[in-house]
Amino acid sequence: MERQIRDYIGVTVALIWQRQAIFLAATILTLFYFEPAKSLACYAAVLFTELNDLVLARRVNNTPHISARAARFLLNWIVANTILSAGAICIFVFMIAQQQGAGGHFTPLFFLFAAALFAAMNNHQIFVVLLIRLAIYGVTFFAIVLMDIIQVAPPLSSELWLHFFTVVFVLYFIIDVSFVFLRLYRRLVNQLEELQDEHERTKIAYRAKSQFVAVVSHELRTPLTSIKGSLDLVNSGMLGPMPEKAQSILKIAGKNSERLAALINDILDLQKIEAGEVDYRFAPVDVRDLVLDAVDSNRGYANTLKRKIHADVDEREPLLIRADEKRLMQVMANVISNALKFSHEGGLVTVAFSRIGSKVRITVEDSGVGIPENSKDKVFGKFTQVDSTDVREVGGTGLGMNISKKIVEDHGGVIDYTSTPGEGTTFFIDLDILVQEDAA
């Protein structure tokens, strides 16, 4: 009932000016051809019911939840106002018919037909309201044509009886249209309720999945940390020399444990971001310092892969952005590590920034294998990687760029890239520059 009341009020408010235009046009037309005082009186009565609808709409819209008791009160209000509105319209139409000769009721019958059709199309949300309005209109239809038949007492072959049977046909048509719109509305309501139920089930399943992933990830992290620490100790030689055959196996195990640890950390980060549980600590951050720190942090990784990394920055005044430095460093690490992994041995990765209007653009440029066209879904997707060649030496989790995109968007920024296969790729991050007043 709450949904039906809200839908009814929504349509009533949405069509208020359309109804006013119709009422005003009908009143103006009848002022010239019929008694003006009666036309204005009926128009005033209709306006009163319209005002009553607006008061009702305001009350409904200001009520967050409609209880069963409130719904019954509002329904009674709507029914009472429907009776007043339909009654005022029918009195208006019947008075016009009384001022015309027998059989010459085209204008009032057309007005009544328009009102009935309008109700059939727009009052189907509450069946009892539609039924009352159409019943009042139907009685008025028959009252007008029977008034002529009673006064004239014509034979069955007369046009007055033709008018009567035409009214019967018109009423059948209006009733049929009413049921069409009523069935359509109820079908849509049922579909909406099914979608809402499915949405609730999906949310429950998503929460269960999130809890499962979080629990499993946390449970895996503890033993994995112990395993990785032990492998690192063995591979470092601190526990003594190992047989040559065992060294290669232990190194592979160490690399795989690092990849597994990275995957677990990325899954936990992604889970927090999707659940909106990331606690960002925004503060003014100097872009120059951010770029230099990111390059220094990844220099060792670049040396391991036999690549070069360079920060192309110049001496200038601080260029500040409002950001969580730790999270942006995570983004920079993901982008730079990708650039290093997809570069050729001895290749150079350049990290720079520039000011573009009110934004700053941070770029990470490499001269590696490049990215094929139409690959953005893979680049920024979950558990997807772009590997157009066999030159990539280091794997990844397939989550880094997806996480980076979400972090940058949470900063109000944009991350994207330009690439030419075989020549290299340039990733860029656009962020708003922090104005001095905000920084202070």
What string of pLDDT tens digits covers the 440 residues of the chain? Answer: 788 888 888 888 888 888 888 888 888 888 888 888 888 888 888 889 888 888 888 888 888 888 888 888 888 988 998 899 889 899 988 888 888 877 778 888 888 888 888 888 888 888 888 899 899 999 999 998 888 888 888 888 888 888 889 889 989 999 998 888 888 888 888 898 889 889 888 888 877 777 776 677 667 777 877 887 787 777 777 777 777 777 778 778 877 777 777 777 777 777 777 777 778 889 999 999 999 999 998 888 888 888 999 998 876 767 899 999 988 998 999 899 989 988 888 889 999 999 998 999 999 999 888 888 888 888 887 766 665 444 444 555 567 888 899 999 999 999 999 988 888 899 999 999 987 645 54
Give pLDDT, residue 32.
80
Give pLDDT, residue 392.
45
Query: Distance (Å, rounded) from C-alpha 288 to C-alpha 118?
Result: 66
Query: Distance (Å, rounded) from C-alpha 129 to C-alpha 126?
Result: 6
Would you state the structure tokens that stand for residue 368, as one six-digit string? 């590696």
Give pLDDT, residue 383.
63
Give pLDDT, residue 350.
94
At position 72, the amino acid (one-letter code) is R
Asked if residue 2 lies in contact with residue 69, where contact means CB atoms within 8 angstroms, the answer is: no
Query: Distance (Å, rounded) from C-alpha 259 to C-alpha 341?
Result: 14
3-state helix, strand, coil in the chain (%, to 5): 65, 10, 25
- Least Cα distance to 362 among 428, 298, 406 occurs for 428
Domains annotated on the chain, with CATH: 2-153 (no CATH), 283-439 (3.30.565.10)
- Least Cα distance to 95 among 49, 162, 138, 40 occurs for 40
DSSP for residue 317? S
Residue with the two structure tokens 């520039």: 354
- Residue 319 CB contacts under 8 Å (≥ 6 apart), including other chains: 286, 287, 288, 353, 355, 360, 433
DSSP for residue 275? T
In a 3-state reduction of DSSP, which class is residue 280? coil
Would you state the structure tokens that stand for residue 221, as one six-digit string? 């992290």
Would you state the structure tokens that stand for residue 215, as one six-digit string? 């629990």
Query: Distance (Å, rounded) from C-alpha 22 to C-alpha 9?
Result: 19
Give pLDDT, residue 336.
93
Q: Kindly provide the residue ranges of all beta strands, DSSP E only, lying in 258-332, ordered along the sequence.
A: 283-286, 308-312, 320-323
- Provide φ and ψ at 352, rounded to 5°: -145, 175
Give pLDDT, residue 388.
43
DSSP alpha helix (H) spans, 342-419: 376-379, 400-410
For 88, the enclosing helix (H) or strand (E) is helix 68-98
Give pLDDT, residue 385.
64
- Residue 92 CB contacts under 8 Å (≥ 6 apart), including other chains: 26, 30, 38, 39, 42, 43, 46, 111
